[in-house]
Chains A and B, each alone.
Chain A
Amino acid sequence: MAVKKFVVGCFDDEGPLFDAVKKVRKSGYKLHDVYTPFPIHGLDKAMGLRDTSLHTAGFLYAIFGTTSMLSFMTWVFTADFPLNVGGKPHFALPAWIPITFEFTVLCSCVGMVITFMYLCQLAPFVKKHHFHLRATDDKFVMVIELTSKTNESEVSSFLTGLGATEVNVQNAETGWWLGRYDKEQKLFVEGQSETVSA
């Protein structure tokens, strides 16, 4: 990840935000992300985000759970430690289905939670840059990345024109890093364009 320069615009309401997202995409500015206090239906479509592939990951974890548990039990009860349970065959498939099912669900959900945390870059002991703290409370924050073809004053006035109540320019690390929220770390040194790690 790298430290990049962003223009941050805050909106008071989700109504103008939708409009703004559409206009930003139309104008060709690079939309980094939008941070809102609550999930907004249809915003992902308006932003042009693709569908998540978390489901596919979940399916693969489930397949892993099913096959590993079934093969493990087959090995244990037919080869390693065959027991005679009430005269039932050693390969007692119906009796294994509940265990297989539970293990499938376990693999699928734990795997999906971990994948989700990784995709959102959430974990204990790691930190991410917050563009605006009130995005968790009552502000709708839109972040536009500055490129070599855009300059900050132009984007700032564009955002103000769209109805942003507060506009500022920030240098921010886009990824996550080891750190704590109660301690301030300087990741960016003015005048230096290279990445500075914490």
Chain B
Amino acid sequence: MAIKEVFAIPARYRTWSLALMGVGILSVIIGFFLYGTGEHPARFWATMLQNSVFFLLVTNAAMFFLCATTLAMGGWQLTFGRVTEAISVAVIPLGIIAFIVLICLVTVDPHVYHWLHPHGDKILEGKSAFLNKGFFITWTILTIGLWIVLGYKMRQLSRETDNAPLGDPETGRRYIFKNTVWAAIFIVWFALTVMSVTPWFWLMSIDAHWYSTMYSWYTFASTFVSGMALITLFVVFLKNQGYLEFANEEHIHDLGKFMFAFSIFWTYLWFAQYMLIWYANIPEETVYFKSRVTSKNHSGPYTGLYWFMFCINFLAPLLILMRRGSKRNYTTVTFMAILIIFGHWLDFYQMIHASLFPDHVTLNLFDFGVAAGFVGLILYAVGNALTKAPLVAKNHPFIKESIIHHT
């Protein structure tokens, strides 16, 4: 059988992505008229914020993975490297949507960020040098803009070799060096955004009186593990369609290890944040868990959701992905990838909604509809991006290392 080099979108794939996007658009419209108008439009905007930011960070994690492995001189990921590149293309449409949502949140002001009105509030006035509209908008533009630009540069570098073999080892070395330089720039920017300032702005500032130094790492862990799950899903899908003949269970095994390890990492951060707050027992900190956890003298409405999310984000990956065989089994890995993405979507749900609506859980079809829309958009954007270039970067200096990869 001839090697299938370029992805052709199957008809069913296109139908599904368009249908899911249709469901999403319908949900947004219905949701807007149900919740987005009137006295309390926060319900609508919270869901938009949750979904747009979550899926933006998940797709951007693919580019982070690419840059991190490039910097580490990794070779094993190259058999499916074009898949991670294609996923990172989805940062462009998702970034635009997230940008519109975030700008609306501070300009239209649907009562999501109460730091927009700091007058008379000592704590918020003290934080206003950081938490203000101008800085928020500038930082949001810079964040999303530079992700898109640097991601584009990384993808360009990868395409460069497709029609022009590198020839002698010296050219190859220079090519790798150029890759590491751009990857390093992306990583530094990633550190300044996802791993520190950006989640403070976009998510943590919902609880403007409260803060946690773990928060950005927590957000990063949550979205990175989902990003690895998304990469795994696309690799398995393409394998099933008969593409990526060089990617095999060795690569799936390593992706499974990433999902396993970063689920544990997420739990570590989750626990570190929880335990320190529990142990210190300072009212201004414990207030965060008031709506999330039920204790002896008080009941939090989100407690069921919170522990359910904990179970599928920690216990399930720990127990199911621990065995070597299950990380090499396409069915188990696919199932776990879907479970992990869903679990971290719920995590983002409680991060935003449990702060804005502490009195009762409002999760309903609207949230799932919007999520379906974003899934459809990712399917559509990634599918399109996959058709634009050969699925294997056959002239990359490390490609052989990836083909003979053995765990």
Q: Spell out A's residues near B (CB within 8 Å).
A: 41-42, 51, 55, 59, 86-89, 94-95, 97-98
Asked if B322 and A95 make an inter-chain contact with CB atoms under 8 angstroms apart, the answer reads no
Asked if B322 and A86 make an inter-chain contact with CB atoms under 8 angstroms apart, the answer reads no
The distance in angstroms between the C-alpha atoms of A51 and B325, with both chains bound, is 10
Contact with A along B291-306 (1 / 0, CB 8 A): 0000010000000000
Chain A hits for B278, CB < 8 A: 94
Does any Cβ of A come within 8 Å of B281's Cβ?
yes
Asked if B275 and A95 make an inter-chain contact with CB atoms under 8 angstroms apart, the answer reads yes
Does any Cβ of A come within 8 Å of B324's Cβ?
yes
Asked if B324 and A51 make an inter-chain contact with CB atoms under 8 angstroms apart, the answer reads yes
Asked if B324 and A55 make an inter-chain contact with CB atoms under 8 angstroms apart, the answer reads yes
Known A-B contacts A42-B406, A95-B275, A97-B275; A59 and B322 likewise in contact (beta carbons under 8 Å): yes
Interfacial residues of chain B within 239-291, with CB under 8 A of chain A in the complex: 271, 274-275, 278-279, 281
The distance in angstroms between the C-alpha atoms of A55 and B324, with both chains bound, is 9
The minimal Cβ–Cβ distance linking B286 to chain A, given in whole angstroms, is: 12
The distance in angstroms between the C-alpha atoms of A94 and B324, with both chains bound, is 30
Q: Which of the residues A41, A51, A59, A86 comes within 8 Å of B281, measured between beta carbons?
A: A86
Asked if B279 and A97 make an inter-chain contact with CB atoms under 8 angstroms apart, the answer reads no
Asked if A94 and B275 make an inter-chain contact with CB atoms under 8 angstroms apart, the answer reads yes
Q: Which of the residues A42, A87, A89, A97 comes within 8 Å of B271, measured between beta carbons?
A: A97
Greatest chain A CB density within 10 A among B274, B279, B296, B323 is at: B279
The minimal Cβ–Cβ distance linking A17 to chain B, given in whole angstroms, is: 17
Chain A hits for B296, CB < 8 A: 89
Chain A hits for B324, CB < 8 A: 51, 55
Chain A hits for B281, CB < 8 A: 86-88
The distance in angstroms between the C-alpha atoms of A45 and B296, with both chains bound, is 56
The distance in angstroms between the C-alpha atoms of A95 and B272, with both chains bound, is 11
The distance in angstroms between the C-alpha atoms of A160 and B281, with both chains bound, is 76
Chain A hits for B279, CB < 8 A: 94-95
Chain B hits for A42, CB < 8 A: 406
Chain A hits for B323, CB < 8 A: 55
Pairs across A and B, CB under 8 Å, 8 listed: A55-B324, A86-B281, A94-B271, A94-B275, A94-B278, A94-B279, A97-B271, A98-B275
The distance in angstroms between the C-alpha atoms of A95 and B271, with both chains bound, is 10
The distance in angstroms between the C-alpha atoms of A94 and B271, with both chains bound, is 8
Chain B hits for A87, CB < 8 A: 281
Nearest A residue to B279 via CB reads A95
Greatest chain B CB density within 10 A among A55, A59, A88, A94 is at: A94
Chain A hits for B275, CB < 8 A: 94-95, 97-98
The distance in angstroms between the C-alpha atoms of A41 and B275, with both chains bound, is 43
Q: Which of the residues B271, B274, B322, B406 comes within 8 Å of A41, measured between beta carbons?
A: B406
The minimal Cβ–Cβ distance linking A43 to chain B, given in whole angstroms, is: 12
The distance in angstroms between the C-alpha atoms of A59 and B322, with both chains bound, is 9
Contact with A along B321-332 (1 / 0, CB 8 A): 011100000000
Chain A hits for B274, CB < 8 A: 94
The minimal Cβ–Cβ distance linking A27 to chain B, given in whole angstroms, is: 27
The distance in angstroms between the C-alpha atoms of A17 and B322, with both chains bound, is 34
Interfacial residues of chain B within 357-392, with CB under 8 A of chain A in the complex: none
Chain B hits for A59, CB < 8 A: 322
